[in-house]
Amino acid sequence: MVVRAAVLPAVGSPLEITGIELPEPGPGEVRVRLVAAGVCHSDLSLSDGTMRVPVPAVLGHEGAGTVVSVGEGVTDLAPGDGVVLNWAPACGSCHHCGIGEVWLCVDALSGMHRVHAVSEDGRDLHPGLSVAAFAEETVVPVSCVLPVPDGVPLADAALLGCAVLTGYGAVHHSARVREGESVVVFGVGGVGLAALQAARIAGAGPIVAVDVTPEKEALAKAAGATDFLVASDTTAREVRALTGGRGADAAVECVGRAATIRAAWDSTRRGGRTTVVGIGGKDQRVTFHALEIFHWGRTLSGCVYGNSDPARDLPVLAEHVRAGRLDLSGLVTHRIGLDGIPEAFGNMLAGKGGRALVVF
C-alpha cells in the first residue's frame, strides 16, 4: 500500500513529500495509522547532519495513531487501539537497562538502520529515529508503541512521545526540582514549554523563561513562567536579580548552543544545577576555567530523553493531563499537514513559535 511521507533523500537536502510503499507487518510488528506527529528540533538535526541517520530516510519520531494491523505474535494490541510511538525502545538486557538507565540503552536506536519502506522510484528507505512518524502510516516493532493512556486525546498524545517526556523529565528526573526552588528555562520551544509546565507542577518559583524572541512571552507565561527575559549578554545578571541576587537553583537549557549553555551555567547560584537538553553540534564548544568550577560548586549534566522511562512515566503524565495540571495543546502553536514540515523547520531555525503538529 502506498502512503504519503516526508522523505530526507540525503543529509542537507530538502525534504520530499512523496509516496512510499510500506510492507505488511511481520512477526512482532505493528502497522499504525498516524493521527498526529510533532515536528521536533531533533528532526531538523537529523536533516542537517548534526545527528547521523542512514539516508534516504522517513523522518519524524513524535507521533500517535491507531493500530491498523498486527503481525504474528503480537497479542496485546488489536486494530483500533490508540498508541504513542516510542522512538527509543529499551532492549532490557544491556548494562544501562540493567541498572535502570533505560534512556541510555545502547540498542535503543538500532531500529533506524533497518529498511523500512521503498520509495516510488525504488530506493530503500530507513526509519528516522526508528519510527518514521512523518507519514500517513508506519510499520514498527511492537516495542516502539505504548498504549495511549485513558483521558488523553489521541492527537495531543503525540506530544507525549518526545517533547513532554523530555521537558518534564529534565525538570523532575534530571534537575530534580523541588517545591519552592527557582528555575530558569532557556529556549521556549516545545520542550521548553513542557519544562516550564513541569516546573510549575513541581511548585517551583520564581520560574524564569529566556528566549531570543520577545513574542514568546505570552506562551511562556501561559505555561507557568513568572518572568520572561529576552536573551542578551546580561541574562545571567537579570536572572540573579529575580532570584534574590543568588541565581537560580536550577537551569534547563533547551537550545543546544555553547552561548546558552554557558549563560545557563552563569545564571545558577553557587551549588546550582544546570541540565542541558538541547542537541548541539560538535563545533559548539563550551569553556570553563578550573577555579570557577571549584568556587561555584555547580553541576552541569546532560539529559537524554528527559532521563525518562516511557512505560513508567506516561501514566504519571496522563494523570497530570486528566487533572488539568498539564496542558498538551498549550505546547502547539501551528497545526499543519505534511506539506508544512519544511516551513516548520524554517520557523525553528528562526526561533518562531512552539510545537508544530502535523495533523493527518
Query: Each residue of 238-261: pLDDT tens digit?
Result: 999 999 999 999 999 999 999 999
Which pLDDT band, with edges at 50, 70 and 90, does 293 fall under? very high
pLDDT at residue 183, rounded to an integer: 98
What distance in Å separates the CA atoms of residue 192 and residue 355, rounded to the nearest whole number?
Answer: 10
Mean pLDDT of 53-82: 95
pLDDT at residue 171, rounded to an integer: 98
pLDDT at residue 352, rounded to an integer: 83
The fraction of the chain above a pLDDT of 70, given in percent, is: 100
Mean pLDDT of 9-24: 92
Question: What is the 8-class DSSP label of residue 135?
Answer: B
pLDDT of 218 higher than 90: yes
Mean pLDDT of 29-40: 96
pLDDT at residue 7, rounded to an integer: 95
What is the largest distance, in Å, between two alpha-carbon atoms of the chain? 62
pLDDT of 319 higher than 90: yes
Mean pLDDT of 104-119: 92
* Plot region of 207 (φ>0 → left; ψ -120 to 50 → alpha; else → beta): beta
167-304: CATH topology: Rossmann fold (3.40.50)
Mean pLDDT of 335-352: 90
pLDDT at residue 348, rounded to an integer: 87
Per the structure block, which three cell numbers stand in for 301?
549534566
12: buried, middle or exposed (CB in 10 Å: 19+, 13-18, 0-12)?
A: exposed
pLDDT at residue 351, rounded to an integer: 83
Mean pLDDT of 104-121: 91
| Superfamily (CATH) of domain 2-148+328-359 | Medium-chain alcohol dehydrogenases, catalytic domain (3.90.180.10)
Residue of 252, 173, 245, 255 whose CA lies nearest to 208: 252
* Domains 2-148+328-359 and 167-304 agree in fold: no
pLDDT at residue 321, rounded to an integer: 96
Q: Are strands 82-85 and 62-70 parallel, antiparallel or unpaired?
A: antiparallel
pLDDT at residue 12, rounded to an integer: 86
Whole-number Cα distances in Å, 202 to 109, 163, 266: 31, 18, 23
Contacts with 316 (C-beta within 8 Å, 6 or more apart), sequence order: none
pLDDT at residue 280, rounded to an integer: 87
CA triple 85-90-91, angle to 5 deg = 130
Which pLDDT band, with edges at 50, 70 and 90, does 354 fall under? confident
Compute how many other C-beta atoms are within 10 angstroms of the C-beta atom of residue 349: 11
pLDDT in tens, 93-104: 999 999 999 999
pLDDT in tens, 124-181: 999 999 999 999 999 999 999 999 988 899 999 999 999 999 999 999 999 999 999 9
pLDDT at residue 31, rounded to an integer: 97
pLDDT of 90 higher than 90: yes
Compute how many other C-beta atoms are within 10 angstroms of the C-beta atom of residue 46: 24
CA triple 188-194-197, angle to 5 deg = 105
What distance in Å separates the CA atoms of residue 343 and residue 360, rounded to the nearest whole number?
Answer: 17
pLDDT in tens, 178-193: 999 999 999 999 999 9
Domain ranges of the chain: 2-148+328-359, 167-304
Residue of 240, 185, 242 whose CA lies nearest to 217: 185
Whole-number Cα distances in Å, 12 to 47, 52, 56, 327, 336: 6, 11, 11, 34, 22
Helix (H, G, I), strand (E, B) or coil at 40: coil
pLDDT of 50 higher than 90: no
Start-to-end CA distance of the chain, whole Å, equals: 17
Reply yes or no: is the peptide bond before residue 153 cis, omega within 30 of 0: no
What distance in Å separates the CA atoms of residue 319 and residue 184, rounded to the nearest whole number?
Answer: 25
Per the structure block, which three cell numbers stand in for 180?
519552592
CA triple 148-38-210, angle to 5 deg = 115
pLDDT of 198 higher than 90: yes
Which pLDDT band, with edges at 50, 70 and 90, does 299 fall under? very high
pLDDT at residue 28, rounded to an integer: 95
Which backbone phi and psi does 127 adopt, to 5 degrees?
-90, 110
Mean pLDDT of 325-346: 93
Mean pLDDT of 3-21: 93
Per the structure block, which three cell numbers stand in for 238?
537579570
Which backbone phi and psi does 236 adopt, to 5 degrees?
-60, -40
Helix (H, G, I), strand (E, B) or coil at 178: coil
Average pLDDT, the chain: 94
Which backbone phi and psi does 105 adopt, to 5 degrees?
-50, 130
Contacts with 28 (C-beta within 8 Å, 6 or more apart), sequence order: 71, 72, 73, 74, 141, 142
Contacts with 42 (C-beta within 8 Å, 6 or more apart), sequence order: 51, 61, 129, 162, 279
